[in-house]
Homo-oligomer: A and B are copies of this chain.
Amino acid sequence: MRADAQRNLNAILTAARESFAAGGLEVGVADIAKRAGVGTATVFRRFATKDDLICAVCEQSVAEMAERVAAAEAADDPWEGLRECMRAAIEMQVTDRGLCEALSRGIEAYPAVREAHDALVARLAVLVRRAQEEGHLRADLEPIDLPIVLNAVARAGAELEPIAPGAWRRYFQMLLDALRPGAPPLEVPAPTREQVDAAFAGEQGAR
């Protein structure tokens, strides 16, 4: 790989990240190319499809989240670590429209992102179980619930952000209240792995 090609690749990834963060996933490839200082053909040379580019950017963000989870696992106070993780996950999505939108599609996303996300949930599960044992989290919360509710809060927050900056913290606090132990048990089971897998297999290639 020639040096200029590598440079362009980095520029494209950075530009895409910034563009998606600011304008959501519907920003045009031409805009991204312009921001990166290259032509559209150069973008498509590295990423056969716009979706591939989205995927690459998302993987970075999900990896970043995974790092935060790992840090929480090692923290002195794991419950505090988990809370901070959740807060960071929402904040990341609120300040990155593209990530927020991508995670909304979440379930049906690309294999690579999906894999990274699964790994992240698996790590989360450890923290969740520990928090439940220590009585910080309601016992009927499943790890799979977390990405769902965090994305829900983030989406509401993201829309509010331009008109009421920081309002997402209000709804994050409500979310924490919902997760506290002591409430009557949930009457509906969480989505299962099988359901998610079936949906994924079914709509491979949609959109």
Contact = CB atoms under 8 A, between A and B. Distances in A.
Instruction: State the oligomeric state as a number of copies.
Output: 2
Q: Which of A148, A177, A199 counts the most chain B CB atoms within 10 A?
A: A177
Interface in A130-150: 145, 148-149
Interface string A109-120: 000000000000
Interface stretch (A43-51, A64-72, A76-84, A188-196): A188-196
A37 interface: no
A163 B199 contact: yes
A171 B145 CA distance: 9
The A contact surface, by secondary structure, is helix
A156 B151 contact: yes
A170 interface: yes
A178 interface: yes
A164 interface: yes
A36 B163 CA distance: 39
Interface of A: 104-107, 145, 148-149, 151-153, 155-156, 159-160, 162-164, 166-167, 169-171, 173-175, 177-180, 183, 186-192, 195-196, 198-199
Given A106-B159, A174-B186, A175-B178, 10 more contacts: A145-B171, A149-B171, A151-B156, A160-B191, A173-B187, A173-B188, A177-B177, A177-B178, A177-B180, A180-B183
